[in-house]
Amino acid sequence: MEDKSQELISVSMKIIMSAGNARNYADEAFECAKKAEFTKASKKMELAHKEITEAHNSQTHIIQSEASGVDYKYSPLFAHAQDTLMTISSEINCDEKLIELLKIFLSRKEDSNE
């Protein structure tokens, strides 16, 4: 059981780190978009998606292991990791929508200045 506990700690930290990296990239993307640097913002969002996918895949590994019979003891750290993953996934979705709104807003602003 100790071995499984260590695995859960390791995976939890991987989820938290990857999700945190994803949040940083999404924040950077939004900052780029505010300066109308949409190509750069898009690249940052791609990195955010890569990181959040890594976090999600780590979570999925544990869930699939549990579904196939591996017994994990409840872990507040894993619960925190899952919460972090879902929160940052939502933030990324919101950032994408906000960036699209910025594109529309800035293009209309340019059109009205002509």
| Contact present, 28 and 44 (Cβ < 8 Å) | yes
pLDDT at 1 over 70: no
pLDDT band of residue 39 (cuts 50, 70, 90) is very high
pLDDT band of residue 4 (cuts 50, 70, 90) is confident
Tokens standing for 87? 């929160």
pLDDT at 114 over 70: no
Closest of 71, 66, 76, 56 to residue 9, by C-alpha = 76
CA 90 to chain centre: 8
pTM for the full predicted model? 0.90
Q: Choosing from 49, 56, 61, 80, which is the catalytic residue?
A: 80
What element of type H or E holds 69? none
80 in active site: yes
